[in-house]
A and B are shown apart, each in its own frame.
Chain A
Amino acid sequence: MTSAAFTAALGLNLLAAVAGLVLPPRSRRAAAGAVTAAGGAAAVVAGVSAMRGGEWSVRLPDLLPLAGVQLALDPLGGLFVAVTGAVAVCAAVYGIGYTRHGGLDGRVPQVMAPVFLAAMALVPAAASVSTFLLAWELMALASLLLVVAEHRRRDEVAAAGLWYAVMTHLGMVVILAGLAGFAAAAHGESFERLRAAADGLPEWGRAAVFLAVFAGFASKAGIAPLHVWLPRAHPEAPSHVSALMSAAMVNLGVYGIVRVGFDLLGGGPAWWWLAVLAAGGGSALYGVLQAAVSSDIKRLLAYSTCENMGLVLVGVGASGLFAASGARTLSALALTAALLHVVNHAGFKTLLFLAAGSVVHATGTRDLDALGGLRTRMPATAALFGTGALMASALPLGNGFVSEWLLLQSLVHALPSGGTMTAVTMPLAVAAVALSAGLAIAAFVKAFGVGFLARARSSAAAQAREAPAPMLAGMAAAAAGCVVLALSPGLVLPSIARPVALAVPGPDAVAGPVTLRLAGLSGTVSPLLIAAFLLVAVVGLLALLRLAATRRASRRRARLWDCGAGPMSPRMEYTATSFAEPLQRVFDNVLAPETDLDVTPLKESAYLVDSVTYRTRVGDRVEHRLYRPVLAAAARVGEAARGLADGSVHRYVGYGFYAFTGLLIALAVLR
């Protein structure tokens, strides 16, 4: 079952790529999109079947020279294959409508999307270092080509592509170094071999491998401070690609950390996991703060990805920490929460990026300050984005709530049992998770309220048209998935228990179909009952209000109060910038916003003002403080090195001669 479905998924994606290559432009979109969606569905089947115990492995020694290809799908890999497949179905259906304009129906984007999906399905199925790295690199290159698909239309795309290319390849280098060192020490490169040899490695060797792959995978997952490519590349990519990257690709960073840290290395000392937890907590806070003050709708979503991946890493780190101190139940609970959050985040982030794509498709702008009033013009998209925003804000009725509740439970219950380290760390982690949940609500209230409610702030927003049917279908599928995850997480939790058991052997951490019960801890939650109660309460309240309003004797119609000063205009509305201003003021030290105030007086008198220009911008502080100096230094070195190459052929011949002689002398001395 697993084998047939996984082969079908790869085959269908290949077929879609071929269709994108050979079909004429008119039929290309629909054919490639439909076949890609079928491939995604096959990947879901393969993943779910692997999670239910249908493990599968294959060796293809002749496919690649020297190493061959080794694939294996176990429950952990199956989870990520299933998530990728589900995201792919939504994004591919959506893409049929979305890629109609803007040069996105060209050969390169149409071929690269299925290739990207196939690579993302291969990464969790790889069972040897060379296969893994090959799939990883294929995924990076395919996504890079997709990110720069619109470089002819906007200048910023090229810069975003450059950042992404450099960061992903630096990540690749450290992963390569870590895994190659591991494989060399293990005298073999298959994952089975690594697993068997992990215990024999010296402590510093294990730590070096873990830290190297952690840095690489964290950069792929968008963990601060290695996240700088993410808020550039995700907004500039076409929106269905943003959804694929933000909901499926970043997950593979988490996969890598869990696979290498828990499975291949078999866990490690507490300080590894403390580092993971700290990186996750920092990323959650930094990401959500940036999301809360961002006024670009897709940049906001990209920073929200940094936040959610941070939360996942808090869970992964806590799980490792508990495992290192022997608390198996808690460890399993934390990892369950983390993996469930991966699934939930994939659901709502697909929905949100696709809905944001519809907005960009309809209005041509991502600037929240120029949107507004879309609720009347695009009711379906508005409802779907609202659903996604609710799902993402960790409130009851949303699916983010369930996984964040489980995460908080695991962190809170650690207090009585752990030693000094947990006593110090866990309150901080709880505070970080709680603060990021609160700020996420502010960010999504802003995104939905400013973007879709009130009146249009620009003519583009006033003339927006509803998205075409395939795009709505893609979004609706994602929304339906989110609602199922939100109301009955009991459906997916048993499937997540197997991958968790693979990493942290032990009984299921969470059980129960409707009411979720934590094994061995006091704590229950029932999302379905909460939803039913809220629904009844809201409907009852509305009915009462309606009754009270109709029973009042006389109702007066009055003009909307506008301070008596004539019609209200969209300029009087809250903008995204003004909504976030108080937050920005509170976190002034962290965000360090740049403000410019230029006052130009009249020629006649310095006291009479002609014009005032006020500009404020919240940049990425990590980028400014950490990356800019390094880039500037590299540029200086490059400038200095230019003096060596002045165009004189004689000098170049001289360089060659001296270098060769120097090498010979060095060899003679060293040998």
Chain B
Amino acid sequence: MRDLFRKIRTTGRAAEAAPRRPEPALPARARALAGSVQVRHVDAGSCNGCEVEIASAFGPVHDAERYGARQVASPRHADALLVTGPVTRNMEMALRRTHEAVPEPKVVVALGDCARNCGVFAEAYGVAGAVRDVVPVDVEVPGCPPEPEAIVAALRGLTGR
């Protein structure tokens, strides 16, 4: 226990200084969330590159929770879906049902090039399409994978903080 406290004291603050507050260009539905966005991540067929960056965005350095975004364990608790990867045929129905399970008002973020336009997997036999072909998408984050700063910026775009 004492070691833990010493570690906390010696490490100090690891998070980078917050960048400038983004312009309040929120999608209309995100405004109803009032600055607190519970995010459920759905891996619809990703290569896990985006997942590494998401972990980094919610890690101590970029610390997306500072801005009111928080990851949750069930779509029933979520306001936003964070979808990565091209939507594979195996995950198509699951993504649709996950989207149905999120209570209104809800926002969908398509994260990474694969989620936007299937990336290098376009027209592969197991791919059903991009995320927007399956569920309505509100925000897109480009990049393969997108940098944590971009992810944080997109989430700040939803929280407005």
Contacts and interface: CB of A to CB of B under 8 A. Distances in A.
A568 to B, nearest CB: 12
Contacts of A614: none
A419 interface: no
B94 A558 contact: no
Q: With a 10 A CB-CB cut-off, give which of A558, A564, A565, A566 has the most chain B CB atoms.
A: A564
B100 interface: yes
Contact of A565 (B74, B76, B94): B94
Chain B interface size, as a band, is 10 to 19
Contact of A556 (B93, B96, B97, B104): B104
A305 B104 CA distance: 53
Contact of B98 (A556, A564, A566): A564
* Top 10 closest pairs, chain A to chain B, by CB: A564-B94, A564-B97, A564-B98, A561-B101, A561-B76, A559-B100, A565-B94, A558-B100, A558-B101, A559-B97
A561 B74 contact: yes
A177 B76 CA distance: 70
Nearest to B91: A564
B103 interface: yes
A503 B137 CA distance: 81
A660 to B, nearest CB: 83
A562 B94 CA distance: 9
Contacts of A566: 93
Contacts of A558: 100-101
Interface of B: 74-76, 93-98, 100-101, 103-104
22 contacts: A556-B103, A556-B104, A558-B100, A558-B101, A559-B97, A559-B100, A559-B101, A561-B74, A561-B75, A561-B76, A561-B101, A562-B97, A563-B94, A564-B93, A564-B94, A564-B95, A564-B96, A564-B97, A564-B98, A564-B101, A565-B94, A566-B93
B114 to A, nearest CB: 19
Nearest to B90: A565
Interface in A547-563: 556, 558-559, 561-563
A495 to B, nearest CB: 55
Interface residues of A, number: 9
A179 to B, nearest CB: 64
A565 to B, nearest CB: 6
Interface of A: 556, 558-559, 561-566
A558 B94 CA distance: 15
A498 to B, nearest CB: 60
A565 B100 CA distance: 13
A563 B42 CA distance: 11
Contacts of A563: 94
Contacts of B101: 558-559, 561, 564
Contacts of A561: 74-76, 101
Q: Describe A's contact surface by its main secondary structure.
A: loop
Contacts of A562: 97
Contacts of A565: 94
A558 B99 CA distance: 11
Given A561-B101, A564-B95, 5 more contacts: A556-B103, A559-B97, A559-B100, A559-B101, A564-B94
A566 to B, nearest CB: 8
A669 B48 CA distance: 97
A601 B66 CA distance: 49
Q: With a 10 A CB-CB cut-off, give which of B76, B96, B97 has the most chain A CB atoms.
A: B97
Contacts of B97: 559, 562, 564
A616 to B, nearest CB: 29
Nearest to A566: B93
A564 B44 CA distance: 12
A558 B95 CA distance: 15
A553 to B, nearest CB: 12
Nearest to A561: B101
A190 to B, nearest CB: 72
A617 to B, nearest CB: 34
A572 to B, nearest CB: 16
A69 to B, nearest CB: 73
A633 B136 CA distance: 76
A561 B75 CA distance: 9
B115 to A, nearest CB: 17
B95 to A, nearest CB: 7
A563 B97 CA distance: 8
Nearest to B101: A561
A599 B74 CA distance: 34
A563 B73 CA distance: 11
A561 B102 CA distance: 10
Contacts of B93: 564, 566
Nearest to B97: A564
Nearest to A554: B104
A495 B75 CA distance: 60
B34 to A, nearest CB: 19
Contacts of A564: 93-98, 101
A561 to B, nearest CB: 5
A556 B101 CA distance: 11
A367 to B, nearest CB: 32
A335 B104 CA distance: 62
A560 to B, nearest CB: 9
A609 to B, nearest CB: 23
A557 to B, nearest CB: 10
A21 to B, nearest CB: 65
B126 to A, nearest CB: 17
B97 to A, nearest CB: 4
A563 B91 CA distance: 11
A369 to B, nearest CB: 27
A565 B75 CA distance: 13
B155 to A, nearest CB: 23
A658 B86 CA distance: 96
A172 to B, nearest CB: 61
Nearest to A560: B101
A102 B52 CA distance: 64
A563 B100 CA distance: 11
A562 B76 CA distance: 11
B101 to A, nearest CB: 5
Nearest to B95: A564
A558 B75 CA distance: 12
Q: With a 10 A CB-CB cut-off, give which of A559, A561, A562 has the most chain B CB atoms.
A: A561
A45 to B, nearest CB: 60
Contacts of B95: 564
B56 to A, nearest CB: 26
B18 to A, nearest CB: 35
B84 to A, nearest CB: 15
Contacts of A556: 103-104
B46 to A, nearest CB: 16
B54 to A, nearest CB: 19
A657 to B, nearest CB: 84
Contacts of B103: 556
Contacts of B74: 561
A589 B79 CA distance: 46
Nearest to B99: A564
A346 B52 CA distance: 63
